[in-house]
Amino acid sequence: MLLDLVDHKESINRLLARYGVKFGIYKNNVFHEQLFPFDPIPRVITRKEFDYLNRGLSQRVRALNCFLADVYSERKIVKDGVIPADFIYSSKGYLPQCEGITPPKKIYSHISGIDLVQGRDGDWYILEDNLRIPSGASYPMIARDLTRQAAPEAFTRRHVLDNRNYASMLRQTMDYVNTGGINVVLTPGRYNAAFFEHSYLAERSGAVLCMPQDLAVEDNKLYYRSYEGRKMQVGAVYRRISDEYLDPLCFLPESLIGVPGLMNVYASGNVAVINAPGNGVADDKGIYYFVPHMIRYYLGEEAILKNAPTYLAFYEKDRSFILEHLNRLVVKDVSEAGGYGVVFGSNLSAGELQKLADAIRTEPRRFIAQEVIDFVDLMIVDGNEQVPRKADLRAFVLAGEETQVWPSGLTRFSRNPDSFVVNSSQGGGFKDTWVLSH
Amino acid sequence: MKVLQVQYEIRLTFDAPVTDHYFQFRCLPTEDDAQTVETLKITVEPACAVHERIDGFGNRMFYGEIPEPHDSLCVRMDARVRVERELISCSFGKRRMRSVRIETSSTGIAGNPETEPEPVCSVTAEIAQYSLLNSPAGEVPGIVYAYPSELTRPDQVMREWLDAVRGGYDSECGFPEYLMHRLYQRLSYVQGQTHVGTTAAEAFALLGGVCQDYAHIFTALCRMAGFPARYAAGMAVGEGATHAWAEVWQDGVWVAYDPTHDCMADDRYIKLSHGRDFIDCSVDRGCFRGAGGQQQTVYVKVAETSTLPDMP
């Protein structure tokens, strides 16, 4: 099965290179652009399984949106003792500047990238939530397109849901919160890690791709000025600039890639910012532990999808468990992202274990520990053979009038046979994700 | 109670005309339980449309933009403000007035302005009482101010000093007040050795600085001791410039301390904003396009117009 695609590995990768499907990494302050290696064998998800994932993931994102609205207004979940204040107010992602701001339609996380893996037992486990500016949707979109070009016959015999509808889902999401005016995708520019994605999503969704200098605030509204000097009001900004650089009047004053005054316009309800600033408080690795509690608290439902078994060093009982079983757990530093700050106890020497234990004792709030999930391998093409590699799935959940999951997703795999870390910044590759129509 | 006449003027002048100037000012008196704004007038030159909103910390601010070339920006605020601030005595051992608006307190005593309050519980109990890890923290309005911020992150030297101060605490006054007195003995007011970006830990190592540094250090130490504390920016009678002090969440009310002068910030203080540290409170933030230098002059005047209490 799917063998017909194997032979197209080289040709599709060549096409991807020609279309500029790259991502950038900064190493020692030098910008390197790399191709994102594509593997032609897709991950295949049945319709039944997808329906289950759709229910679980949209439930999760609905609860996370409730949580964000609560954190920046009434703080009921803290008052009711469900989540300790420490995990919210000492989080780097919590931005007091956003207190009291109600985003259009009360949606905070419009585009969520939820990472999950399938265990050997067949169950899916959530690894982390990405509610700030999750990237990656463009890769399976364009890979599907190019695969269809290279191997059209592969799709005539199989009933695969078209994933190129991401563009229209994105457009509907922007239109739903748009306060009047055009939609724009705001990119920091050519040297951003995900510039390909910014330009591709803008082009496909019919939004205007713009750089910070193309936008300006005037009389408490946001305007786009085109190359020819035409001025148009902006109703929704899908910004791919992180919170701290978004507006030098509100966050880092030294930011040169922000739009001065944007936060004032947003706070006045005159533009939608996608995703809302301040979302980092909800995708913190420490908060992850509490998401099933949130689902119960806000929705009165039990979580459909499981978290990986997680221990919080903050709680004394969990801490002693972690210290006792350090050599078999994976420890994550809550303040890091992108696969950094993740340590597998089994890879550490006795001295390193001791050092880690000391760090956990000194700053318990900084660490979570998880059981290593033995997740399923997917086959990848390696030269003339196929070999199994660890892979996860980043599912994209879009919250507009409804909250729904895109019937595809970014499947990332580790190219290293001994590694569980699949992040592209750590050298991983990607696959398309097929959802069957039956 | 005092009625203060307040003037604040900031003038930015540029060596060469600038364009695309975005500005944002936090120079309006806050309106809260302590301050009632009776009259307020703002002028901006060159004339332009301004908008006002409340920021995430609860401060009033106004903002606007001047796209056309201009070589200066002047903002002037005139206000009359009635000030009635909660006070705690500010001398060792003696307690004249105490905060009165206690709704619920864990010691179970409701405050009463007419009577001398009971002596407070022992220091360890008092500190534990505010320890956020042990209390339903969501109930604390000051929760945002319970954690270190960029300019108030303490270091090991401050931690050790605080431990020593805690160990020596045998005074009848509340711990924040005791801490302020001890800090005043340790620090000296020195201009020029710190700047607006100096952190509490840096200024503490230098053994002094200006009001901003005193406020940062005191705020950082209070938070470490378990008291939510915030940085306050404003003006005071007799100060020819803007001033900074701190507010500490105690017994269900914000109590204002002026660590630079080792006293309570009383009705002669006008608050313009508060936040986690100076960064949240900067009076003016802006950016513009243009080459050449800029100068900034600030004029501040605060005068008492009446010291008589309101007639019934």
Question: So what's the ipTM on this one?
Answer: 0.89
User: Do A364 and A381 reside in the same domain of the chain?
Assistant: no
Residue at A108 is within a domain: yes
B19: closest CA of chain A, how far (Å)? 13
Tell me, yes or no, if the two domains B2-83+283-306 and B123-281 fold the same way.
no
- Mean per-residue pLDDT, A404-425: 85
In a domain, A192, yes or no: yes
Query: Which residue range forms the structural domain that includes residue A358?
Result: 309-371
Question: Pick from B20, B49, B143: which is nearest to A219 by CB?
Answer: B49
* Whether residue A353 is found in the same domain as residue A390: no
Please give the residue that has the higher pLDDT: either B239 or B59.
B59
Q: What is the CATH number for A340? A: 3.30.1490.270
Domain finish residue from A346, A371, A396: A371
- Are B246 and B232 in contact by the 8 Å Cβ rule? The answer is yes
A chain contacts of residue B63, beta-carbon cutoff 8 Å: 249, 261, 264
Is the pLDDT confidence value at A199 over 90? Answer: yes
Mean pLDDT score of chain B: 83
Q: What residues does each domain of chain B span?
A: 2-83+283-306, 123-281
Is the pLDDT at A235 greater than 80? The verdict is: yes
Same domain, A258 and A406: yes
B62: confidence class by pLDDT, cuts 50, 70, 90: very high
Choose which CATH entry (3.40.1390.10, 3.90.550.10, 3.40.630.30, 3.10.620.30) describes domain B123-281. Answer: 3.10.620.30
Asked whether residue A404 is assigned to any structural domain, the reply reads: yes
Q: Which of A163, A153, A140, A159 is nearest to A4 (CA)?
A: A153
pLDDT on residue A279: 97
Please compute the mean of the pLDDT values over residues B139-146 and round it to a whole number. Answer: 78
Same domain, A387 and A337: no
Q: Answer yes or no: do A346 and A211 share one domain.
A: no
Q: Are residues A242 and A181 in the same domain?
A: yes
User: Which of A319, A337, A371 delimits the end of a domain?
Assistant: A371
In the predicted structure, residue A12 carries a pLDDT above the cut 80:
yes
| A416 pLDDT tier (thresholds 50, 70, 90) | confident
Domain B2-83+283-306 has CATH 1.10.3720.10: no
Q: In the structure, what pLDDT confidence band is assigned to residue A93 with cuts at 50, 70 and 90?
A: very high
> Does one domain contain both A211 and A262?
yes
Nearest CA in chain B to A258: B287
Q: Is A246 among the domain residues?
A: yes
Cβ pairs A/B, distance under 8 A: 79
What proportion of chain A, given as a percentage, has pLDDT over 70? Answer: 97
Test A84 with B286 for CB contact under 8 angstroms. Answer: no
For chain B, give the percent of residues with pLDDT over 70: 80
Residue B307 has pLDDT above 80, yes or no: no
| Cβ distance of B65 and A267 shorter than 8 Å | no
Q: For residues A231 and A366, state if they share a domain.
A: no
Interchain CB distance below 8 Å, A99 and B276: no
pLDDT in tens, B261-275: 999 999 999 999 999
pLDDT score at A294: 97
Question: A136-192: per-residue pLDDT in tens?
Answer: 999 999 999 999 998 888 888 889 999 989 999 999 999 999 999 999 999 999 888
A294 within some domain? no
At residue B140, the pLDDT reads 58
Q: What is the mean pLDDT of chain A?
A: 92
Q: What is the pTM of this model?
A: 0.90
Report CB contact under 8 Å: A86, B137: yes
**In this structure, are A228 and A163 located in the same domain?**
yes
Distance CA A133, CA A57 (A): 17
The per-residue b/e assignment along A49-84, b for 16 or more CB within 10 angstroms, e otherwise, is ebeebbebbbbbbbbbbbbbbbbbeebebbeeebbb
A371, A400, A423 — which closes off a domain?
A: A371
Contact between B137 and A216 using a beta-carbon 8 Å cutoff: no
The answer to whether residues A110 and A156 belong to one domain is yes
The pLDDT tens digits for A377-399 are 999 999 889 999 999 999 999 99
Query: 3-state SS of chain A?
Result: CCHHHHCCHHHHHHHHHHCCCEEEEEECCEEEEEECCEEEEEEEECHHHHHHHHHHHHHHHHHHHHHHHHHCCCCHHHHCCCCCCHHHHCCCCCCHHHCCCCCHHHCCCCEEEEEEEEECCCCEEEEEEECCCCCCCHHHHHHHHHHHHHCCHHHHCCCECCCCCHHHHHHHHHHHHCCCCEEEEECCCCCCCCHHHHHHHHHHHCCEEECHHHEEEECCEEEEECCCCCEEEEEEEEECCCHHHHCCCCCCCCCCCCCCCHHHHHHCCCCEEECCCCHHHCCCHHHHCCHHHHHHHHHCCCCCCEECCEEECCCHHHHHHHHHCHHHEEEEECCCCCCCCEEEHHHCCHHHHHHHHHHHHHCHHHEEEEECCCECEEEEEECCEEEEEEEEEEEEEEECCCEEECCCCEEEECCCCCCCCCCHHHCCEEEEEEEECC
Question: Which tens digits make up the pLDDT trace of A44-58?
Answer: 999 999 999 999 999
Examine residue A298 and state whether it is found in any structural domain, yes or no.
no
Mutate to test the interface with B, among A89, A214, A268 (most CBs of B within 10 A): A89
Query: Confidence class of residue B306 from pLDDT cuts 50, 70 and 90?
Result: low
Report yes or no on A315 lying in a domain: yes
Q: What is the pLDDT of residue A375?
A: 86
| pLDDT band (50, 70, 90) for residue A425 | low
Of A76, A99, A268, the CB nearest to B53: A268
Chain A: nearest CA to B119, how far in angstroms? Answer: 30
Q: Chain A: nearest CA to B67, how far in angstroms?
A: 9
User: Residue B166 pLDDT more than 80?
Assistant: yes
Check if A246 contacts B (Cβ < 8 Å). Answer: no
Do A32 and A122 belong to one domain?
yes
Q: Do A28 and A165 belong to one domain?
A: yes
Number of domains present in the structure of chain A: 2
Which pLDDT tens digit goes with each residue over B94-129?
333 333 232 222 232 233 333 333 333 223 333 333
Q: Is A252 part of the contact surface with chain B (CB cutoff 8 Å)?
A: no
Q: What is the pLDDT of residues B32-60, one digit of tens each?
A: 889 999 999 999 999 999 999 999 999 99
The reported pLDDT for the residue numbered B123 is 32
Grade residue B133 by pLDDT with cuts at 50, 70 and 90: very low
